C-alpha cells in the first residue's frame, strides 16, 4: 500500500503563476470592496458587477500555467497516495497532473444555478453574463464560496488529514477559517511541513521551510520520492 500524503495549498501557490490574491488587491477591485463582489449581499445588490469581477478572474486563470510547485506536487503520485485540499479556485493543480483535488472554496471554471446549488456546470465560455440561465430558468453564478457561505468538503478533508503519513501546507496564511483549522487534524506521528516565505505563527509540530512554493517544494518532493 502506498503511504498517504495530504497537501494543503493556499493563494501563495497560485500567486507564483501570476494570479492575484485578495491580499494583493488591497481589499479593493476597481474601487469596489472585495466583500461587495464576493458575497451573497453583493450579488443581491449588483449581480452584474459580481459577474464582471469573476469573469476577469476566470480569464486570468485560463491564461495562467501551472508552476514548478504544482508540477512537483503532481509527481508525488508516482509513489504516494496524494490528496490535495486547496483553498484556491483555479484548476492549476489538475492541469499539472494531480488527480485527487478537493476545492474547499469552489471552482471558478464551473457555474451553478442560483435556484438549486446542486446544479453545477462546467463552463464552455470564460464568461457568465446576466441572462445566462440554468434549465430551471435561474441565473447562473460562479461556483465559488463567497464570504459568509459554507466551505465545501470540510469533513472529507478532515478525514484525509487524520489519515495522513505526511502533511505539507503551502502558501496559506491560515487566517481563513474554518479551512485553516484542517492542519490541526494531522496525526502526531505524521511528518508535517509548512512552507511559506513569511508566516509568523507556524502550527505546532510543523517543520517550517521558509521560502516560496517554487523555491522550496520541488526539493522537498525529490526528498520524499527518494524515501518512498
Identify the active-site residue in 32, 105, 153, 160: 105
Biggest distance spanned by C-alpha atoms of the chain? 54
pTM to 2 decimal places: 0.94
In this structure, what C-alpha cell is assigned to residue 56? 476577469
* pLDDT of amino acid 185: 95
Q: What is the pLDDT along the chain (228 residues), one digit of tens a residue?
A: 899 999 999 999 999 999 988 878 887 888 888 889 999 999 999 999 999 999 999 999 999 999 999 999 999 999 999 999 999 999 999 999 999 999 999 999 999 999 999 999 999 899 999 999 999 999 999 999 999 999 999 999 999 999 999 999 999 888 777 888 999 999 999 999 999 988 667 777 899 999 999 999 999 999 999 998
Residue 105 bears catalytic tag: yes
Q: Measuring CA to CA, how many Å separate 75 from each of 82, 123, 135, 195, 205?
A: 10, 28, 40, 18, 26
* pLDDT of amino acid 200: 67
For helices 68-75 and 213-227, angle between their N-to-C axes, nearest 10 degrees: 10
* pLDDT of amino acid 151: 94
Amino acid at each position: 500500500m502506498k503511504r498517504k500524503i495530504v497537501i494543503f495549498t493556499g493563494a501563495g501557490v497560485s500567486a507564483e503563476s501570476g494570479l492575484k490574491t485578495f491580499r494583493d488587491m488591497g481589499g479593493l477591485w476597481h474601487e469596489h470592496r472585495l466583500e461587495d463582489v464576493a458575497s451573497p449581499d453583493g450579488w443581491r445588490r449588483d449581480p452584474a458587477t459580481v459577474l464582471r469581477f469573476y469573469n476577469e478572474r476566470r480569464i486570468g486563470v485560463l491564461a495562467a500555467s501551472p508552476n514548478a510547485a504544482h508540477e512537483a506536487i503532481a509527481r508525488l503520485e508516482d509513489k504516494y497516495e496524494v490528496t490535495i485540499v486547496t483553498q484556491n479556485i483555479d484548476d492549476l493543480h489538475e492541469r499539472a497532473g494531480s488527480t485527487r483535488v478537493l476545492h474547499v472554496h469552489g471552482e471558478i471554471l464551473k457555474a451553478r444555478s442560483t435556484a438549486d446549488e446542486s446544479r453545477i456546470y462546467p463552463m464552455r465560455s470564460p464568461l457568465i453574463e446576466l441572462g445566462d440561465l440554468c434549465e430551471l430558468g435561474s441565473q447562473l453564478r460562479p461556483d465559488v464560496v463567497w464570504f459568509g457561505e459554507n466551505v465545501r468538503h470540510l469533513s472529507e478533508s478532515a478525514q484525509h488529514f487524520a489519515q495522513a503519513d505526511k502533511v505539507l501546507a503551502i502558501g496559506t496564511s491560515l487566517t481563513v477559517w474554518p479551512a485553516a483549522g484542517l492542519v490541526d487534524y494531522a496525526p502526531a506521528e505524521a511528518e508535517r511541513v509548512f512552507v511559506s516565505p513569511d508566516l509568523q505563527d507556524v502550527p505546532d509540530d510543523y517543520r517550517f521551510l521558509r521560502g516560496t512554493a517554487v523555491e522550496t517544494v520541488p526539493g522537498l518532493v525529490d526528498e520524499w520520492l527518494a524515501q518512498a
